[in-house]
């Protein structure tokens, strides 16, 4: 990876490709359901714009300033600006969080692949709420099937990372992302016509703050980092190839808006079916897989739609999974002088094995509960709600406090106007405080 992005649009597409994934379509609806709807959505939007967005800007800014891989960038900038190379640990933490996330991400992407096939052979024809739930229950009950689909998806990811394909990805994102949006719009239209749409709008947009706990705040915060792919050095790595003179703020805003719109559309497709069929919104990770097949089962040409939809979802997950695997592989290649193929196969293989914990959480070990719940829930919590906020905190503190004012204003090229002051206020005060307060609340200190 050397040189520059061919255009600003290419950079935006790459970051959007990593941002838009299972986080938007699978995770956002189910955690919204588990945390009571509107108040959580509002909190999530607040986190995205007041905390996520300034940190996204900071991460791109650090990347373009350092122009190296994330660990080297943090080491060099740390020394130049802050007198300590220990800042490289931010990069290391990101790599670890990425592998933990990938270990469950690939399992869920495997479900999506399996559902594309199920839809293609007509399994959803005439599906109602009960049979969809039953189908999901039987499918996830079979650990061998889950492990096999997880293997297929991981192999796809390893294949691309090993080959180091960049251009194919860019082109694919350009075509597939708009298609995904169109499919979501079709589903929203279906849900508006046949589901409980008004109830959904009230549920999603009329906040009831009594539903919120300190824990929900931590989940909203963690998800804002998860969905924007912040805190793992990936955005930093992409930022390293952004030409001088491209507006970091405008590019970041575009990514944030695209990501948010897709998540909200997913919510508007899923919840009308939940309420219309008397399902439980707090159903958990199976929510999307138990609701959307109902729509596909009734729509004309539903099996075609269903297949296309789950393929698109798999594809969105694929572009994200590549970004999750890449940093660890780059590290192995640079640090231990192995080929990309060896690096990708070794890291991918180990992550696949780690995924066994998630696979078994839905069947054999579903009764094993501790901490946050099942093994899968604990891995997700550790990565998304502890590691990501921690490294995001370090990134924003570094960009806002350690880095000198001249460097950041030069990189952001916003002059010393209101925009720059706004970013500085958010990244120096609002974002760090929000992260600390939310973290302390969640552990019960405040």
How far is Cα 298 from Cα 125, in angstroms, rounded to an integer?
Answer: 7
At 166 the three-state DSSP class reads coil
Tokens of 228: 């924007």
How far is Cα 26 from Cα 189, in angstroms, rounded to an integer?
Answer: 19
CB of 372 to ligand TRP, least distance (A): 18
How far is Cα 307 from Cα 393, in angstroms, rounded to an integer?
Answer: 40
* 434 contacts ligand TRP (rule: CB under 6 A): no
User: What would the x/- binding string for ligand TRP be over residues 290 to 329, using CB under 6 A?
Assistant: ------------------------------x--xx-----
CB of 236 to ligand TRP, least distance (A): 11
How far is Cα 82 from Cα 74, in angstroms, rounded to an integer?
Answer: 10
Q: For residues 427 and 55, is the Cβ–Cβ distance under 8 A?
A: yes
CB of 232 to ligand TRP, least distance (A): 5
User: What would the x/- binding string for ligand TRP be over residues 34 to 73, using CB under 6 A?
Assistant: ----------------------------------------
Helices (H), 337-373: 340-361
Burial class (CB in 10 A: 0-12, 13-18, 19+), 419: middle
> Minimal CA–CA distance to 47: which of 431, 384, 444, 423?
431
How far is Cα 315 from Cα 83, in angstroms, rounded to an integer?
Answer: 42
* 389 contacts ligand TRP (rule: CB under 6 A): no
Q: Which is nearer to ligand TRP, 22 or 217 (CB)?
A: 22
Size of the site for ligand TRP (CB under 6 A): 15
CB of 162 to ligand TRP, least distance (A): 17
> Minimal CA–CA distance to 199: which of 262, 131, 266, 270?
270
Residue 247 has φ and ψ, to the nearest 5°, of -75, 115
How far is Cα 416 from Cα 409, in angstroms, rounded to an integer?
Answer: 7
Q: Which is nearer to ligand TRP, 229 or 408 (CB)?
A: 229
> Minimal CA–CA distance to 343: which of 163, 194, 187, 197?
163
Among 53, 101, 184, 217, binds ligand TRP (CB under 6 A): 101
Residue 208 CA to chain centroid, in angstroms? 26
* 232 contacts ligand TRP (rule: CB under 6 A): yes
Stretch that binds ligand TRP, among 20-28, 296-304, 417-425, 433-441 (CB under 6 A): 20-28
Q: Which is nearer to ligand TRP, 124 or 376 (CB)?
A: 376
The two counts, helices (H) then strands (E), for the chain are 22, 0
Q: For residues 240 and 73, is the Cβ–Cβ distance under 8 A?
A: yes
Q: For residues 416 and 40, is the Cβ–Cβ distance under 8 A?
A: no
Among 218, 234, 240, 262, binds ligand TRP (CB under 6 A): 234
* 91 contacts ligand TRP (rule: CB under 6 A): no
* 21 contacts ligand TRP (rule: CB under 6 A): yes
CB of 306 to ligand TRP, least distance (A): 21
Q: For residues 84 and 257, is the Cβ–Cβ distance under 8 A?
A: no
* 224 contacts ligand TRP (rule: CB under 6 A): no
* 285 contacts ligand TRP (rule: CB under 6 A): no
Q: Which is nearer to ligand TRP, 273 or 388 (CB)?
A: 388
Stretch that binds ligand TRP, among 30-38, 71-79, 229-237, 352-360 (CB under 6 A): 229-237
Q: For residues 438 and 217, is the Cβ–Cβ distance under 8 A?
A: yes
Stretch that binds ligand TRP, among 172-180, 223-231, 248-256, 348-356 (CB under 6 A): 223-231
* 112 contacts ligand TRP (rule: CB under 6 A): no
Q: Which residue is nearest to ligand TRP (CB)?
A: 23
Give the binding site for ligand TRP (CB under 6 A): 18-19, 21-24, 101, 226-227, 229, 232, 234, 320, 323-324
């Amino acid at each position: 990876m050397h040189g520059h992005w061919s255009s600003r649009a290419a950079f935006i597409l790459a970051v959007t490709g990593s941002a838009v994934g299972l986080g938007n379509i699978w995770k956002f609806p189910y955690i919204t359901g588990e945390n009571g709807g509107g108040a959580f959505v509002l909190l999530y939007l607040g986190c995205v714009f007041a905390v996520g967005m300034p940190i996204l800007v900071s991460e791109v800014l650090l990347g373009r300033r350092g122009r190296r891989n994330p660990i080297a960038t943090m080491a060099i900038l740390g020394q130049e600006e802050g007198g300590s190379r220990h800042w490289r640990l931010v990069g290391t933490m990101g790599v670890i969080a990425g592998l933990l996330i990938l270990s469950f991400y690939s399992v869920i992407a495997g479900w999506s692949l399996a559902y594309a096939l199920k839809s293609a052979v007509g399994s959803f024809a005439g599906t109602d709420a009960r049979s969809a739930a039953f189908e999901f229950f039987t499918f996830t009950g079979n650990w061998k099937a889950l492990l096999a689909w997880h293997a297929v998806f991981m192999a796809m990811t390893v294949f691309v990372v090993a080959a180091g394909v960049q251009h194919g990805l860019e082109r694919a994102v350009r075509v597939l992302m708009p298609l995904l949006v169109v499919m979501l719009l079709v589903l929203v239209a279906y849900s508006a016509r046949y589901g409980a749409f008004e109830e959904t709008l009230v549920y999603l947009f009329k906040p009831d703050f009594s539903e919120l706990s300190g824990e929900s705040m931590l989940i909203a915060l963690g998800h804002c980092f998860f969905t924007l792919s912040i805190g793992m050095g990936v955005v930093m790595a992409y930022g390293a190839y952004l030409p001088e003179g491209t507006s970091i703020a405008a590019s970041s805003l575009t990514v944030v808006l695209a990501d948010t719109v897709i998540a909200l559309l997913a919510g508007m497709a899923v919840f009308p079916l939940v309420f219309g069929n008397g399902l439980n919104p707090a159903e958990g990770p199976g929510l999307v897989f138990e609701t959307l097949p109902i729509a596909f089962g009734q729509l004309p040409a539903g099996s075609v739609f269903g297949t296309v939809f789950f393929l698109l979802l798999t594809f969105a997950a694929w572009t994200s999974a590549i970004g999750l695997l890449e940093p660890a592989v780059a590290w192995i290649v640079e640090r231990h002088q192995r080929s990309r193929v060896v690096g990708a196969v070794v890291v991918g293989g180990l992550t696949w094995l780690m995924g066994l914990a998630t696979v078994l959480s839905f069947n054999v070990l579903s009764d094993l509960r501790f901490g946050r719940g099942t093994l899968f829930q604990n891995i997700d919590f550790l990565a998304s709600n502890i590691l990501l906020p921690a490294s995001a905190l370090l990134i924003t503190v570094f960009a806002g406090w350690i880095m000198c004012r001249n460097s950041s204003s030069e990189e952001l090229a916003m002059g010393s106007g209101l925009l720059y002051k706004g970013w500085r206020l958010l990244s120096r005060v609002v974002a760090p405080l929000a992260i600390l307060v939310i973290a302390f609340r969640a552990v019960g200190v405040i």
